[in-house]
């Protein structure tokens, strides 16, 4: 059984009700949280750097990334049911992420002690006793939530407020070894993510990078890929050998 009273309450669709219980003011706030100063994180942006405490000690995010692919993903709050299932599933998939050279790092806006207590529950109910496999950021100061815009419109307005417990939404940032943001997914708090989709898009990004191709709808490894329209038929023949031309702009081929 997950231990905290929060899980004994009936949780419906309002994430704020999950986190509005009173709690001590989190540490000193770090910035103004003004909309004007907030970084715009787009595909192709350098992932904003930050220094923060995690369940595996303090990190500098860019140093943590090193020269790996990295997935940064946020969770509304500790001891919440959907996040418990997600974190367990991502931890169990560590071998799949390792195979792809991908590091994981989670985030929730509570402290390391709270995260560590929650991890014990996750290990109990989701990983079958296996060690939890990646750090969770303690973003009590909301620095990362602000920099990456991991909050709803309403919570953004309250970010700088005193005694306000802010629930982050379910954001996923896929960052490449050059520290560029390559893919962003944003889910509301009530909707759990799909681990297979996260693995699939990593495969798609890495295949596109390695082979100079695009990937069609519902693509998975082994299926035909698309030759970009910028490649002429002659160059496509030289580069890929055979290809299937459905339209001048829609050409399929196979890659290993
Ligand atoms: C959660 O488990 O994180 C959650 C559940 C219901 C609504 C919002 C969040």
Contact 29, 159 (CB under 8 A): no
pLDDT of residue 17: 40
pLDDT at site 34: 87
Same-domain pairing of 95 and 221: no
pLDDT at 2 over 60: no
Distances 173 to 150, 186, 209 between C-alpha atoms, Å: 10, 9, 17
Strand order, beta sheet including 225-226: 225-226, 250-253, 244-247
82 and 154 both lie in a single domain? yes
pLDDT at 141: 87
Last residue of a domain, which of 165, 193, 221? 193
With beta carbons less than 8 A apart as the criterion, state whether 203 and 100 touch: yes
Does 166 map to a domain? yes
For residue 78 the two structure tokens come to 């500790």
Residue 128 binned pLDDT confidence (cut-offs 50, 70, 90): very high
Q: 131 with 231, same domain?
A: no
Mean pLDDT (the chain) is: 88
pTM (two decimals):
0.87
Residues 157 and 226 both lie in one domain: no
**CB 15 less than 6 A from any atom of ligand 1:** yes
| 29 has a pLDDT exceeding 60 | no
Contact 180, 163 (CB under 8 A): no
In a shared domain, residues 181 and 223: no
Q: Which of 8-17, 81-90, 182-191, 244-253 has the lowest mean pLDDT?
A: 8-17
For residue 169 and ligand 1, the question of a CB distance below 6 A is answered with no
Q: Is residue 221 part of a domain?
A: yes
244 assigned to some structural domain? yes
Residue positions annotated with a catalytic role: 83
Mutational test site, ligand 1, from 73, 83, 169, max ligand atoms within 8 Å of CB = 83
Domain membership flag for residue 26: no
Residue of 203 and 2 predicted with greater confidence? 203
Q: Give the number of the atom of ligand 1 that is nearest the alpha carbon of residue 84.
A: 2
Residue 56 confidence (pLDDT) above 60: yes
- Angle in degrees, 0-180, between the axes of helices 81-92 and 112-125, rounded to the nearest 10: 70
Percent pLDDT > 90 in the chain is 76
The pLDDT value given to residue 6: 36
Mean of the pLDDT values across residues 173-193? 97
Contacts of residue 204, defined as CB under 8 A and 6 or more positions apart, other chains included, come to 215, 219
**187 CA from centroid of ligand 1 (Å):** 11
Determine the 3-state secondary structure of 109 from DSSP. Answer: coil
Same domain, yes or no: 54 and 154: yes
Per-residue b or e along 154-181, where b marks 16 or more CB atoms closer than 10 Å to that residue's CB = ebbebbeeeebbbbbbbbbbbbbeebeb
Decide if pLDDT at 21 tops 50: no
Paired tokens of 132: 């939890």
Q: Do 166 and 55 fall within a single domain? A: yes
One domain, residues 155 and 187: yes
Q: How many helices (H) and strands (E) does the chain have?
A: 9, 10
Residue 4: inside a domain: no
Q: Is the CB of 13 within 6 Å of ligand 1?
A: yes
Residue 163 confidence (pLDDT): 57
Indicate the top mutation candidate among 86, 125, 189 to test ligand 1's pocket, ranked by most ligand atoms within 8 A of CB. Answer: 189
Scored b (16 or more CB within 10 A) or e, 118-148 reads: bbebbbeebbeeeebbbbbbbbbbbbbbbbb
| Average pLDDT of the segment spanning 213-222 | 98
Mean pLDDT of 9-18: 36
Residue 254, both tokens: 């196979």
Region 124-151: mean pLDDT is: 95
Beta carbon of 255 within 6 Å of any ligand 1 atom: no
Asked if pLDDT for residue 28 goes beyond 80, the answer is no
Residue 10 domain-assigned (yes or no): no
pLDDT for res 167: 84
Q: What is the pLDDT of residue 162?
A: 67
- Shared domain for 180 and 91, answered yes or no, is yes
Q: How many domains does the chain have?
A: 2
Q: Which of 43, 46, 76, 41 is nearest to 193 (CA)?
A: 76
**Is the same domain home to 121 and 219?**
no
- What is the arithmetic mean of pLDDT over 246-256? 97
**pLDDT attached to residue 4:** 40
Our answer on whether the CB atom of 118 is closer than 6 Å to any ligand 1 atom is no
| Minimum-distance ligand 1 atom for the alpha carbon of 77 | 3
Mean pLDDT on 119-147: 95
Dist. CA 99 → ligand 1 center (Å) = 30
Mean pLDDT of 130-149: 94
Last residue of a domain, one of 193, 222, 242: 193
Element (H, E) at 245: strand 244-247
- Ligand 1 in reach of 19 Cβ (< 6 A): no
User: Domain limits at 177?
Assistant: 35-193
Going by alpha carbons, the residue nearest to atom 6 of ligand 1 is: 190
């Amino acid at each position: 059984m997950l231990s905290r009273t929060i899980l004994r309450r009936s949780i419906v669709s309002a994430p704020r009700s999950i986190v509005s219980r009173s709690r001590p003011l989190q540490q000193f706030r770090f910035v103004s949280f003004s909309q004007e100063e907030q970084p715009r994180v787009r595909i192709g942006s350098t992932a904003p750097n930050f220094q923060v405490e995690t369940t595996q000690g303090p990190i500098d995010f860019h140093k943590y990334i090193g020269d790996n692919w990295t997935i940064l993903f946020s969770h509304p709050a500790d001891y919440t049911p959907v996040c418990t299932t997600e974190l367990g599933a991502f931890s169990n998939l560590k071998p799949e992420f390792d195979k792809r050279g991908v590091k994981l790092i989670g985030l929730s806006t509570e402290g390391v002690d709270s995260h560590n207590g929650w991890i014990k529950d996750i290990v109990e109910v989701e990983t079958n006793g296996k060690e939890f496999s990646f750090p969770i950021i303690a973003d009590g100061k909301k620095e990362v939530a602000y920099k990456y815009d991991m909050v709803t419109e309403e919570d953004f307005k309250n970010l700088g407020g005193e005694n306000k417990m802010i629930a982050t939404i379910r954001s996923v940032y896929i960052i490449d070894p050059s520290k560029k943001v390559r893919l962003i997914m944003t889910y509301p708090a009530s909707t759990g993510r799909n681990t297979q989709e996260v693995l699939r898009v990593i495969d798609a990004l890495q295949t596109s990078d390695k082979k100079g191709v695009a990937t069609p709808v519902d693509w998975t490894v082994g299926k035909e890929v698309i030759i970009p329209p910028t490649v002429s038929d002659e160059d496509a023949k030289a580069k890929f050998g055979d290809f299937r031309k459905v339209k001048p702009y829609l050409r399929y081929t196979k890659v290993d």
